[in-house]
Amino acid sequence: MNCRQSVALAMALVTTAGFQARAVVTEVNVSVEPKVSSAFVWRGEILNDEWCFQPTLGLQGSNFSLRAFGNWNLTSVTNSPKNTRVDTTLQYMTTTDSQILKAGLVAYIYRDSPSQGPDDTFEVYVRDTVDVLLLPSLAVYYDFSDIQGFYATFSLAHGLTLVEDTLALDVRTTLGAGDKKYNEAVFGQPEEDPSADIEATDVDRTALVDLTVEVSLPLQPRDGLTITPAVKYMSLMDSNIRDAADRTDQDRDIFYYTLAVEYAF
Res. 19: pLDDT tops 80: no
| Model confidence pLDDT, tens digit, residues 164-182 | 999 999 999 999 999 999 9
1-10, 25-34, 60-69, 212-221: lowest mean pLDDT where?
1-10
- Cα distance between residue 182 and residue 179, in whole Å: 5
Mean pLDDT of the chain: 86
Give me the mean pLDDT over the 180-209 stretch. 75
Res. 158: pLDDT tops 80: yes
Give me the mean pLDDT over the 255-262 stretch. 98
225-236/219-222 β-pairing: antiparallel
Give me the mean pLDDT over the 204-226 stretch. 96
Sequence ranges of the domains in the chain: 25-264
pLDDT for position 80: 64
Q: From 3.50.50.60, 3.40.50.720, 2.40.160.40, 2.40.50.140, which CATH number describes the 25-264 domain?
A: 2.40.160.40
- Cα distance between residue 219 and residue 216, in whole Å: 10
pLDDT for position 168: 98
- Cα distance between residue 255 and residue 157, in whole Å: 19
- Cα distance between residue 35 and residue 245, in whole Å: 27
| Model confidence pLDDT, tens digit, residues 39-61 | 999 999 999 999 999 999 999 99
pTM of the model: 0.84
| Model confidence pLDDT, tens digit, residues 103-135 | 999 999 987 545 556 788 999 999 999 999 999
